[in-house]
């Protein structure tokens, strides 16, 4: 290892990065082939940002032409918490979103590391810092430098640290010797993650069908959640951790040293469903969840999720606010999902609202009402 690389890694670890590797900017041809096949199978769902610039993902120098090396880093976000209990009132939040938004938090330290590299290099350098927001196969880049290995649940795993990690990269115009040390570890015969998925989102080992994934459905998905998958969401209000929770490698997880990712830093492990459903405007929503990942699906998405979870956990306390959402909310996505939830939680009131919703101005609400009415004997 060169003295410069050793200094970079030492500086990165001082800044809190758990694992650091140096990757080549060479094209990732095998990974590109797998990615293209995944997209062609429809597994990217409607995440157009994944399929819009597929020519860039496996070619770092097309993304950043001046790049000569990639510093690939992992950030531990594991924070302990009591076992989740829904208490017929609460929705569950995926662990990565308990604290502040990792994009902002990690980016700040990447910029600091890049500035330190410039001092070490003794010259002005060109550096681009990325945190999960760029067309780059970052797991493949990280794996090539020994930062982790691919698990059957498609997460990047570390044999002695697990998978509760964010990935980040700095593409620099400094030529650094690459760590060519792909880890010789695998999941072996274990398939706990595949078996545990509540919505059977794994088409096969190492193949995630986003269209069935709870994380996709509750965060990236902009539209209605398919009726057939709603019960499968269970208590998950935002994201899902099931495939990581059952992974044997995560028994080695250690608590994060980043205070920004602790439970008390952000929205926390669970949210009161009644309080979420009571958010009546985008302004209220933004004020409640500013600087956290829960902003991602916007008010319409989070309240859509909350309505489903309220029904799944039998949150009868949410009935009054669900009634309000059905009758007064301006957002059709919220009205339609609140109607579905009411059909489960308050049968007498649901009937009249379903018939009224058949004349709603929005087709999404009318379709939801017609579907509920067709299955009325089942619902009521």
Give the separation between CA 376 and CA 368, rounded to whole angstroms.
12
Q: Of 186, 310, 127, 337, give the one whose Cα is nearest residue 236.
A: 310
Q: Which two tokens stand for residue 54?
A: 């597929």
Residue 307 DSSP SS3:
helix
- How many C-beta atoms surround the C-beta of residue 142 within 10 A? 26
Residue 92 DSSP SS3:
strand
Exposure on the CB side of residue 224, measured as CA atoms within 13 A = 17
Annotated catalytic residues are 132
E strands, the chain, where? 19-23, 69-76, 90-93, 127-130, 149-150, 156-157, 165-172, 202-204, 207-208, 236-238, 270-272
Exposure on the CB side of residue 39, measured as CA atoms within 13 A = 16
């Amino acid at each position: 290892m060169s003295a410069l690389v050793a200094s970079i890694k030492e500086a990165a670890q001082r800044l809190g990065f758990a694992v650091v590797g140096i990757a080549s900017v060479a094209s990732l041809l095998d990974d590109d082939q797998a990615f293209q096949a995944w997209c062609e199978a429809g597994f990217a769902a409607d995440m157009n940002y994944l399929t819009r610039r597929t020519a860039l993902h496996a070619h770092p120098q097309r993304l950043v032409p001046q790049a000569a090396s990639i510093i690939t880093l992992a950030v531990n976000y594991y924070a302990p918490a009591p076992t989740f209990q829904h208490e017929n009132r609460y929705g569950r939040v995926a662990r990565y979103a308990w604290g502040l938004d990792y994009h902002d938090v990690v980016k700040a330290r990447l910029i600091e590391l890049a500035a330190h590299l410039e001092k070490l290099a003794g010259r002005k350098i060109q550096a681009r810092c990325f945190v999960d927001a760029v067309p780059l196969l970052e797991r493949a880049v990280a794996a090539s430098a020994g930062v982790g290995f691919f698990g059957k649940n498609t997460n990047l795993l570390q044999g002695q640290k697990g998978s509760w990690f964010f990935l980040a990269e700095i593409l620099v115009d400094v030529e650094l010797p690459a760590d060519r040390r792909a880890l010789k570890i695998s999941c072996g015969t274990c398939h706990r993650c595949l078996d545990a998925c509540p919505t059977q989102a794994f088409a096969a080992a190492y193949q995630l069908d986003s269209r069935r994934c709870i994380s996709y459905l509750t965060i990236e998905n902009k539209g209605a959640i398919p009726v057939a998958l709603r019960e499968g969401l269970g208590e998950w209000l935002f994201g899902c951790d099931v495939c990581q929770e059952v992974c044997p490698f995560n028994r080695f997880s250690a608590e994060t040293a980043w205070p920004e990712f602790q439970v008390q830093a952000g929205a926390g492990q669970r949210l009161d469903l009644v309080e979420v459903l009571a958010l009546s405007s985008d302004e209220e929503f933004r004020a409640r969840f500013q600087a956290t990942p829960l902003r991602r699906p916007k008010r319409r998405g989070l309240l859509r999720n909350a309505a489903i979870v309220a029904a799944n956990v039998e949150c009868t306390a949410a009935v009054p606010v669900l009634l309000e959402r059905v009758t007064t909310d301006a957002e059709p996505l919220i009205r339609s999902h609140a109607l579905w939830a009411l059909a489960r939680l308050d049968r007498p009131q649901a009937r009249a609202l379903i018939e009224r919703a058949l004349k709603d101005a929005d087709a999404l609400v009318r379709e939801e009402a017609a579907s509920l009415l067709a299955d009325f004997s089942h619902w009521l």
